[in-house]
Structure 1
Amino acid sequence: MKRTLAFGGLVATAGLLAAGLAAPAQATPQDVASDALATNGIAAYEVAAYWKANKAANLIGATPYDVETKVVAKHISKGGPAPDSKPGIVPAIGDEKKVAAKSKNVNLPKTTGKVFFTTPDGPDADSRPDRHWCSATSVQSAYHNLVATAGHCVYDTETNAATLDKWVFIPGYYQGKTPWGIYVGKQAFTHYDYDVYEDGDRDYAFVTVYNGLSFYHDGVVKPFDENPGAWREVSRATYENFKNQFRYWEGPNYYCEHESHYYVWAFVDAGRLGDNVGGQGLAYNQKIGQPVFVFGYPSGSHPDGNYAYSGATLKWTYGKTFKATAAEIKAEELQAVKSSFTGEGALGSSWLLKYNNGRRLGYLNGVTIGVSDTDGNNRYDTSISPYFDGELYGVYSAAKNLWSGSIAVPFESPALH
């Protein structure tokens, strides 16, 4: 599936913020949209199995989310973002008592990775889903289980369904490898104005994820006799539940009966996301004009056909933010940075303020929602992001204190008996 975001009227300026602060503002509970992804351990288990089965064939076969963004700056404008309250920061995981410092040397952050999801393929309900990915990053939260990315890498604005399906985050992903595990999305949060009106100024999302999963034999399910250590004995009720869940599964069986005992395939708990890779801090209502590092997985070609990026490895770019607007996506409070990143795959890239090279931590201050060819030479030269203000902090606050827990081994729940 191809979805196009038309940024036909981006307006950009490098001017400073208007003097004076607006009245303090923050998203209220009524402004926050929240939708479930994998609602329980069984559902999350099935999502993880979908991506890792058959030697991670679905991961390897996924393509960058194919969003074409052609943004043309026609004239300078005084529009753009301004703080809606006092500036604020949330420290990164492990950095709560430290102050991040700028560094000219760049060590890539462990927090960045890819989010994978599926989208419907055509109107036929029996059609196979398309598999896609965006960029994303781990951020600070009470339970070290939160991911930030672009809103349209979580919410399905094409079909008007609530969320994209089979959503997972994989930090450090490379060619089917999951060095710190797979983290299945549990609950998604964005601003009501994006969920309902697709307001480009609110094109961001925070997703709580379950504990990570690692896998025996790289996800290749073997019969019990060949690999008994990867199976766990469970009650007959749990076994029957799994059998019903995977009855029409096209991959290997994740349940078996052996000598009158019942077993299910047991993934290994890899622990909490933030404990494994850390989590970036958060900055909001910050002054425009500060330098940021942008980390993501750009892929695809420039308009002139030049393929500058493969999307296989993490890349970075660096520059100072400036104001931007894009009326065609109802966006009047964007920020932009000069960047050669192409749009495919780079959507959801993290913009890190005051990035510290030693700790590989900074403050998340933007997420890429599109790219722009501002000088008309058929080469993308600018990335754009919503401006992080008090409204964004309100959405973050709704997500940051929610527990998710482990889904590694199927549980013996009273509901299953």
Structure 2
Amino acid sequence: MAALGMTVAMPAQAAQRGAVHELSGTVADADFWTPENMRAATPLDGPLQTAGGALDQPTAGSPSLVPPVGPSNPGSSWTGGGKVSRTSGRVFFLFHGARASCSANAVTSDNRSVVMTAGHCVKYQGSWHTDWVFVPGYRNGNAPYGKWTAKETLTTPQWEASEDLTYDVGAAVVNPLGGRRLTDVVGAQGIAFNQARLQRTYSFGYPAESPFDGTKLIYCSGTALVDPVISKDNVLRCDMTGGSSGGPWLVNFDPESGTGVQNSVNSFGYGFLPGYLLGPYFGSDAQALYQRAAAS
């Protein structure tokens, strides 16, 4: 448990540092996101529930996910409090001028300003999002710890070039607010790379499509498997819907304190395999992205 407040990382091996998008991060960006505008934001990742359509059906001879069936895990409201109720939050931004949302999480870093999310929560369909803010501890239009504007958003080179779901990882570096830095206010989860598979995992997010409404933090838990179909991502039995993308996957999680180590994010689901959520493996490319953000 000693690693919970620390960065746990193996040295990156010839990984590219990723693509960076500079943002103004003005007070006006935060002021735009009134409670009404936050409630009206549409989950961006509805299309990714079928992996953009490309993975709607398994290819001939493709293996089935193991286990192929099992009890439903619809996601439950997180009522345990603790650090995760502050480090997790919703992300709001404009996508082609439309109000949109995802989820994200604050992680430990030297600059005390790094937020991890999904790649499509910073750039999607060839376009970087604008007016990007992180609202930790969001609850039904309220921003109890403030609205933190991004000075830059980042993603992996693979997502930037071709929106490869295996590398659907994003990050943001947020500006100080009221003279304080993000993790000095809300705390931070640890972050780890190149970790062992098949670990007990908790997934958190703010799903905003039915039966959820985006007003509160939802979680699932279980053993994360490995996707044998196409992506080689981590797989968790979980029925969270659009809006949860970018929320953290935490291992070594302590429900009493709400602390853990992040090693993935909510990314997408196969249309032919409902009830399973996939998250990219945090390997050397994700580590290089994080290191670039932490050094900003």
- In the TM superposition, 1:140-151 aligns within 5 A as 140-151=108-119
> 1:349 and 2:251 equivalent?
no
> 1:323 and 2:217 equivalent?
no
Q: Partners of 1:184 and 1:382 in 2: how far apart?
A: 32
Cα 1:172–1:27 shift into 2, 3 Å: farther
Question: Residue 73 of structure 2 corresponds to which residue in structure 1?
Answer: none
Whether contact under 8 Å (1:48, 1:184) holds in the other structure is: yes
Cα 1:188–1:27 shift into 2, 3 Å: farther
Q: Partners of 1:198 and 1:175 in 2: how far apart?
A: 31
The alpha-carbon deviation at position 326 of structure 1 amounts to 5.6
Question: Residue 71 of structure 2 corresponds to which residue in structure 1?
Answer: none
Q: Partners of 1:393 and 1:293 in 2: how far apart?
A: 20
Q: Partners of 1:355 and 1:336 in 2: how far apart?
A: 17
**One-letter identity of the residue aligned with 1:368:** N
**Aligned match for 1:197, one of 162, 184, 198:** 162
> 1:308 and 2:211 equivalent?
yes
**Aligned match for 1:153, one of 101, 114, 121:** 121
Three-state SS of the structure 2 residue aligned to 1:310 is coil
Q: 1:225-247: per-residue Cα shift (whole Å, max 9, x none)?
A: xxxxxxxxxxxxxxxxxxxxxxx
Question: Residue 23 of structure 2 corresponds to which residue in structure 1?
Answer: 37
Three-state SS of the structure 2 residue aligned to 1:396 is helix
Q: 1:130-164: per-residue Cα shift (whole Å, max 9, x none)?
A: 10110110011112111000000001x32x23x10
Q: Partners of 1:113 and 1:151 in 2: how far apart?
A: 16
Q: Partners of 2:190 and 2:286 in 1: how far apart?
A: 14
Three-state SS of the structure 1 residue aligned to 2:269 is strand
Q: Partners of 2:36 and 2:176 in 1: how far apart?
A: 22
Q: Which runs of 5+ in 1 are unaligned?
A: 1-23, 79-104, 121-128, 213-268, 301-306, 403-417
**Aligned match for 2:98, one of 124, 130, 133:** 130
> 1:339 and 2:232 equivalent?
no
Cα 1:49–1:27 shift into 2, 3 Å: farther
Cα 1:27–1:186 shift into 2, 3 Å: farther
Give the TM-score of the pair, scaled to structure 1: 0.59
Q: 1:227-274: per-residue Cα shift (whole Å, max 9, x none)?
A: xxxxxxxxxxxxxxxxxxxxxxxxxxxxxxxxxxxxxxxxxx162210
Root mean square deviation of aligned Cα: 2.3
**Aligned match for 1:370, one of 265, 268, 285:** 268
Whether contact under 8 Å (1:336, 1:382) holds in the other structure is: yes
Whether contact under 8 Å (1:295, 1:314) holds in the other structure is: yes
Q: 1:329-361: per-residue Cα shift (whole Å, max 9, x none)?
A: xxx33111111212x111112100111223321
Q: Partners of 1:345 and 1:49 in 2: how far apart?
A: 22
Q: How many residues align?
A: 263
Give the TM-score of the pair, scaled to structure 2: 0.82
Whether contact under 8 Å (2:64, 2:229) holds in the other structure is: no
- In the TM superposition, 1:180-329 aligns within 5 A as 180-212=145-177, 269=178, 271-300=180-209, 307-324=210-227, 327=230
**One-letter identity of the residue aligned with 2:243:** G
Q: Which runs of 5+ in 2 are unaligned?
A: 1-10, 51-55, 66-78
Three-state SS of the structure 2 residue aligned to 1:60 is helix
The alpha-carbon deviation at position 199 of structure 1 amounts to 1.6
Cα 1:73–1:207 shift into 2, 3 Å: same
**One-letter identity of the residue aligned with 2:191:** L
Q: Partners of 1:293 and 1:180 in 2: how far apart?
A: 23
